[in-house]
Amino acid sequence: MRVLWLSPWMRTLSRVHVEALRAAGHECLLITSDQHYEKMEPLEYERVLDPRPKDLRTIGPLMRTVREAKAWQPSVVVVELVWDPRWLMLARLAPMVHLVHDDAPHDETEQRPAWQRHLFSRFSNRATRVVAFSEYVAKQLPYPASVVPLTSDVREKDLPPVATERHDFVLYGRMSPYKNVPIALKAWEKYLLSGQHKGDRLILLGDGPLDVSEQDLPSRCEWRRERYSYSDVLPILGRAKGSVVHYRQASQSGVQLLSMQLGVTPIVSDSGGLQEFQPPGEPGIGVNDADGLATAFAELSDPDVAMRRGAASRKHFEQTYSAGLVVERLADVLAQAAR
């Protein structure tokens, strides 16, 4: 197949998908943008556009890319989080597969303007196939969707060596309301007072609208409040005893997958972390259950336990969510659409 992939925002994840498709023998052309926080040099299969419809300077590069893509004659077009209506010219070049990451915003900070929500619905209504990355999201959608497991947006070759020692707990990502950070901080205080603390820190990595000052943070807790590249994050998260993914709303969490890929146990809530993503024997904790979360910190504070459960998480990722396995399923859906 010749796969034209349109993904202005999910650049790192689309690269993983495209490279796995290319490794399986398919030709791919990725149309993306430089909006992702991870700054990258364009690869030979990428065309990088500026998806701002109101800027007239973006029209020339867009039209050149449309002509190139049309001459390339794709078999199928993949559309992933496209918010520029002009990209419909690209989406119409072949049967379309629309990738849907979430069925609804996680909280008010993720609410999209009405015109963008309309455009999103238009893509799904016109698509030959719709793909969701979890059974949970597929069941919420008002139209049929094929389910393909989500993979991590970090390539295996970019991972650090598996850590031989474990220390600290990490809460990584944009600090939005649905991330349930106040409960995590309350649980951390309870853990410190339990007498089971073994010197670890709780490290918050990322910026966002979280209304917490440095003075309000519990002891042995630090908030590194800025946007990080993966080269900064991976060594810290990869050495952690546990990754806090204790969210208030259900999320197809890239952090949950990245943690397992690194061999770190994700600590999820029963309503926020999708259980279908979790390793066997790692149930969710009540979303308001600070005592249960404190117990999870205590159990994983034993470095041997953290290593053993982390290794099981890594094995679960390899057997279920590795890019090669995921793309086998995805390629089958793309082939159905192309036919």
Residues 164 and 295 in one domain: yes
Whether the predicted pLDDT of 200 surpasses 50: yes
Question: Into how many domains does the chain fold?
Answer: 2
Predicted TM-score (pTM) of this structure:
0.90
Q: Examine the pLDDT at 173 and tell me if it is beyond 50.
A: yes
Shared-domain flag, residues 81 and 132: yes
Alpha-carbon torsion 319, 321, 325, 329, what sign?
A: positive
Helix (H) or strand (E) holding 146: strand 146-147
337, 128 in Cβ contact below 8 A?
Answer: yes
pLDDT tier, 120 (very low <50, low <70, confident <90, very high otherwise): low
At 255-274, the pLDDT tens digits run 999 999 999 999 999 887 78
Whether residues 143 and 169 fall in one domain: no
Structural domain span for residue 137: 2-151+323-338
Contact 176, 209 (CB under 8 A): yes
Q: Does 75 have pLDDT greater than 70?
A: yes
**Within this chain, do residues 100 and 223 fall inside the same structural domain, yes or no?**
no
Query: Based on the domain organization, do 185 and 333 belong to the same domain?
Result: no
Q: Where residue 226 falls among pLDDT bands split at 50, 70, 90?
A: confident
Q: What CATH number is given to the structural domain containing 212?
A: 3.40.50.2000
- Residue 316 shares a structural domain with residue 327: no
Residue 170 has pLDDT above 90, yes or no: yes
Q: Is the pLDDT of residue 37 over 80?
A: no
Whether residue 81 is found in the same domain as residue 200: no
pLDDT value of residue 50: 84
What are the DSSP calls for 192-257, one per residue? HHTT---S--EEEE--SS----GGGSPTTEEEE-S---HHHHHHHHHT-SEEEE--SS-B--HHHH
Confidence class of residue 116 from pLDDT cuts 50, 70 and 90? low
